[in-house]
Chain A
Amino acid sequence: MTGVVVLAAGALVVGTGLSSGWKSGWLGTISSAVAAFTVMLSVQSSLAQAALWSLGLWLLIVRWMTLAPGGATLTAGRAVGLSTGAFLAVTPFLLDVGAAGSGARTDVIAGLLAVSFAVPLGLLPVGGWAIGVFSLLPRREVLVWIAVVVPAAVLSLSSTLTRIGDPERQVLTVVLLVSALTTAVWSGVGALRVQGADRYLRCFVADVALAVVGIVSATADGRKGALLIVIGHICLSPLLFTTVSERIGRYGWLLLSGLPFSPFWWARLLVVEACFAHNGFAVPLTLLALFVIGIASCHSAVQGWRVHSTTSQQPLHRFLAYGVVVVATVVGIVPLQTLHLLQG
Chain B
Amino acid sequence: MNDAVLASIGFLGVVVASLVDGRRAVPLAALSLSIALVPTVVPAQGSGAALLLLGVAVLTWLMGEVAYRVARSHFSWAAGLDPLVPVAFSRAELFGPRSIRVASTVVSIPVASWAHFHVALGGLATTTGFLFPLFYAWVCTGFRFLTARTLEDVAVATTMIAVASASGWMVHGGGHAFIGAGGVMMVSPLSATIVGWLAGRHQWRTREDG
Contact = CB atoms under 8 A, between A and B. Distances in A.
Interface of A: 45, 47-48, 50-51, 54-55, 58, 62, 65-66, 69-71, 73-74, 77-78, 81-82, 84-85, 88-89, 91-93, 95-96, 101-102, 104-105, 108
A69 B198 CA distance: 13
A65 B88 contact: no
Given A85-B141, A88-B184, A92-B172, A58 B119 contact: no
B154 to A, nearest CB: 5
B51 interface: no
Contact of B120 (A47, A85, A105): A105
A96 B122 contact: yes
A47 B151 contact: no
Q: Classify the interface of chain A: helix, strand, loop or mixed.
A: helix
Contact of B154 (A78, A89, A95, A96): A78
B180 A47 contact: yes
B81 interface: yes
Contact of B161 (A55, A85, A105): A85
B157 interface: yes
A79 to B, nearest CB: 8
Contact of A101 (B120, B149, B176): B120
Given A48-B180, A66-B80, A74-B87, A81 B194 contact: no
Contact of A108 (B88, B115, B122): B115
B116 to A, nearest CB: 11
Contact of A89 (B120, B138, B146): B138
A91 B169 contact: yes
A132 to B, nearest CB: 12
Interface in B109-125: 114-115, 118-122
B43 interface: no
A85 B119 contact: no
Interface string B181-193: 1011001001000
A104 B190 CA distance: 34
Contacts, number: 107
A236 B154 CA distance: 34
A65 B161 contact: no
A58, A78, A81, A92, most chain B CB atoms within 10 A: A92
Contacts of A101: 119-120
28 contacts: A45-B176, A47-B169, A47-B180, A48-B183, A51-B184, A54-B158, A55-B190, A62-B194, A65-B81, A65-B87, A69-B88, A71-B87, A74-B88, A74-B149, A78-B146, A81-B145, A81-B148, A85-B141, A85-B145, A85-B165, A88-B161, A91-B169, A92-B171, A93-B119, A95-B122, A96-B172, A104-B115, A105-B120
B13 interface: no
Given A92-B171, A95-B174, A51 B118 contact: no
Contacts of A70: 87-88
A48 B179 CA distance: 10
B151 A89 contact: no
B29 interface: no
Contacts of A65: 81, 87, 151
Interface in B70-89: 80-81, 87-88
Contacts of A62: 151, 194
B25 interface: no
Given A74-B149, A78-B148, A88 B118 contact: no
A136 to B, nearest CB: 12
Contacts of A73: 87
Closest 10 CB pairs of A and B: A71-B88, A104-B118, A88-B165, A85-B161, A81-B145, A92-B168, A47-B180, A74-B87, A92-B172, A66-B81
